Amino acid sequence: MIIKTTSTSDCKEHDVTDENVYHQRRELIKKMGFLGAGSLLSSSAGASILDIFRDDKIPSSLFSQNKLDYKAINGFDEELTPEAKITGHNNFYEFGVEKQQPAELSQSFNVNPWTLKISGEVENSLTLGYDELYSSFDLEERIYRLRCVEAWSMVVPWIGFSLADLVKKAKPTSRAKYLAFETLYDPVQMPGQRSRRLGGGIDYPYIEGLRIDEAMNPLALMSVGLYGKTLPPQNGAPIRLIVPWKYGFKSIKSIVGIKFVERQPATTWNLLAANEYGFYANVNPTVDHPRWSQASERRITTGGIFAQNRIPTLPFNGYGEQVADLYSGMNLRKYY
């Protein structure tokens, strides 16, 4: 288990999953040979287990092990956002700016073959192909809150591996201070990249960045799946970043490059509107977006789009105990 201690920001699985299903999952995993604190899928798991993971016919409820403990907050139990909402309500401008367009316009997107290159100030440059995204690191299921800068939020059961494990494998040099991420540039497959109207006026490819200590935080995740299945294209297939204490636009999708660099890298939304989207993008209810308040959010649940599911926004999206020390002494209004 990456994080062994619990905190007020966490929620146990039985708070979001039916108790019978919770125990059925554990029994199945025991029969499959994964005991104790082993990973959901490890590099030694073998092709047969990987085939099960990729099989959409296997109920997502069967995939569970080794996730972060996740407790109720603010006096109520948090529910998982339904899979249909997670896969049907997306910001992925490479496939259009409307929430439904990524799901509609990405279904022919080809994720295999795929190449993820890790380069820059490292001793061990890496090139990972499609299958290696699933086999090179231990995979876990983690339930995280996802908070969009647009003031809506979800609770998502991701599957992936710790970004820190990738950083360690790359062996950064003493000059490496930041990680620069890059999304695939493929206008043939991504219609938003060939149309400024459809793609929101962004200069592609999409780029993002983290400080290296942020990347090493145990919460940072490289996700290859959700709800027990491989990622759909509209959610960033085949691999995306998840940094749950930051606004969602930091969690870059369909990554093809990670470069270790000495200076703070440029990021897409900061280049487009620096007064609205800072480099850090930490969830902060006391710092409003110039055009709306960030004090509360609309949690997307089973209700319709106009359901009144308004809840208070928590500093660092509720993960302050795990990450606040990364920003000790920083002015979080200036470094927003």
Q: Look at residue 86 and tell me whether its pLDDT is greater than 80.
A: yes
Percent of the chain with pLDDT over 90: 74
Q: How confident is the model at residue 63 (pLDDT cuts 50, 70, 90)?
A: very low
Q: Which two tokens stand for residue 171?
A: 């062996």
Closest listed residue to residue 12, CA positions, set 78, 101, 87, 57 = 78
Q: What is the dihedral of CA 131, 115, 245, 60, to 10 degrees?
A: -30
The pTM of this model reads: 0.82
CB 268 within 8 A of CB 181: no
How far is residue 236 from each of residues 67, 111, 142, 303, measured CA to CA in Å? 21, 10, 17, 25
Closest listed residue to residue 68, CA positions, set 136, 143, 120 = 143
**Is 138 inside a domain boundary?**
yes
**Is 304 inside a domain boundary?**
no
Neighbours of 114 (CB within 10 A): 19
**Is 153 inside a domain boundary?**
no
**Is 335 inside a domain boundary?**
no
How far is residue 304 from each of residues 82, 83, 85, 272, 298, measured CA to CA in Å? 12, 14, 10, 32, 11
- Residue 310's Cβ-count burial label (10 Å; 0-12, 13-18, 19+) is exposed
Q: Which domain holds residue 226?
A: 13-143+158-274+320-327
Q: Look at residue 212 and tell me whether its pLDDT is greater than 60.
A: yes
**Is 255 inside a domain boundary?**
yes
- CA–CA separation, 14 vs 18, rounded Å? 6
**Is 45 inside a domain boundary?**
yes
CB 58 within 8 A of CB 228: yes
Tens digit of each residue's pLDDT (9 = 90 or more) over 137-180:
999 999 999 999 999 999 999 999 999 999 999 999 999 999 99
How confident is the model at residue 64, as a pLDDT? Answer: 37
Domain count, the chain: 1
**Is 307 inside a domain boundary?**
no
The β-bridge partners of 147 are 153
Tens digit of each residue's pLDDT (9 = 90 or more) over 164-174:
999 999 999 99
Q: Look at residue 72 and tell me whether its pLDDT is greater than 50.
A: no
**Is 334 inside a domain boundary?**
no
Q: Look at residue 279 and tell me whether its pLDDT is greater than 70.
A: yes
How far is residue 95 from each of residues 105, 253, 293, measured CA to CA in Å? 6, 12, 27
In this structure, what CATH number is given to the domain that contains residue 182? 3.90.420.10
How confident is the model at residue 172, as a pLDDT? Answer: 98
